[in-house]
Structure 1
Amino acid sequence: MSFAGKVVLITGASSGIGAETAIYFAQLGASLSITGRNKHNLEKVAEKCGKSKPFIVTGDLVNENDVKNIIDSTIKHYGKLDVLINNAGIVEFSNIETPSLEQYDNIMNINVRSVFQLTALAVPHLTKTKGNIVNVSSIAGLRPLRNNLSYCMSKAALDQFTRCVALELASRQVRVNAVNPGVVQTNILRNTGLSQEQVKIRFEQLKGMHALGRNGDSLEIAKTIAFLASNDASFMTGVTLLVDGGWHIVPPESIAMH
């Protein structure tokens, strides 16, 4: 599998799955454009990419002008776009009995609205290269989770977005797919207000949700993203591919016990 000569744009590349995906694509020869809010972290990721130094664009995906600048800067730098990886996302705990419209808007703006805008801006460029899109969704888009209402809704929306856009762009030979991870041990829970010890306990509890009895690793997701973006998946579009350690086959009553 090679991405030599391919320009790949990755959002949320400053940490977690996005960072690991950037490093992995660099190993496969891709010309990278990586974006996130933390320039220092993006620079650290760029260093790990070795000789093929990524192009860095800082920006906040909630800001429409920043989103436009991410695409414009990437095209100005490389002259084209072959793969868009919509990876950026946030998790915040919520339920219908303690609603917060501010929290709901924040989650939907980052997890859905920004993807909508970035993809719309990328389509003309991806059409020229017959490129493709990989969205990073979640098992939460397919199975309900307690106290994760807004997050689950956002990922369900992202899955349907994937299918609809895949249908719209199929005639242009632009493929659109999503990867739906189970729990992956990244720093995403640190931003939910949990202490370091609480995060550790939570990750330990979450192992039991998976049929394989463990949480996922960022590299496992990165490799799946690369597969979907590669010519090896040339006959796949509109797919939401579970990489969840078998969470989707665990009976609900088993999950209820954890």
Structure 2
Amino acid sequence: MAAHGQTWAEREYTTALLVLTAATGAVDGVSYLALDRVFTGNMTGNVLFIGFGLMGVADIPVLNNLVALLTFLLGAALGSRLTRRGATPGVKLPRSSMWVLLGTTVGTLVLAGLWFVLGRLGTTEMIVITGVLALLLGAQASAVKHTGIRDLSTVVVTMTMVNLAGDSRLAGGAGAAWFRRVGAIVTMGLGALASAAVIRYLSGSYALVLAGVLMAVALGLLHRARRADLRHAEAGSAA
């Protein structure tokens, strides 16, 4: 499944980030389909929507998209600041990143619970939930950067597709990391698909629970990968 030459920890990191990418697809499905046509992870879409809305295109909520854009930036800044310290030599993911990811997971599930309590959301509630979700995904993207796997940002797949095409045999490349790159594209789509299905037959709050569960699974996998990294680092220092 994984590329040759990867360590067990690297394969585990890849699997975890693919699950986290699926979770982002699920969250974006919720925000677009149930929170008034806005993305909380894909900021490229929000920039375009803001441009469309400012030109008067109907049914484009400029305020919601602007809130998502700004809170994502804030989340990314906070995530970066919180994960600057706590690194362990030889371990890709600092302990601080794990705490940030735990916070984003719990925050997502808390928002889902709040949504259940509120029931039908008004405009204000939609904007608040949109903003908090974007902040959480911004923090998530910053936290996972420390793995060094650039094709798995967990929030966008545009550059992943560019790298996939550029390194393909069709382009004269060696076809490197094709599984990881295709996996990122597929898992984000599957997350969105699952989210859309849950929204269609249940509600957006249930789809947000699905996203939170996926985040929790990814967190567990990242914990295992980090422990493997730590054992490898300890073995190396002992040698």
Q: Which has the higher contact order (CA 8 A, sep 6+)?
A: 2
**Shorter-chain TM-score range:** 0.3 to 0.5
Structure (1 or 2) with the larger CA radius of gyration: 2
Higher helix share: 2
Normalised to the residue count of structure 2, the TM-score between the two structures is: 0.35
TM-score of the superposed pair, with normalisation by structure 1: 0.33
Which has more strand, going by share of residues?
1
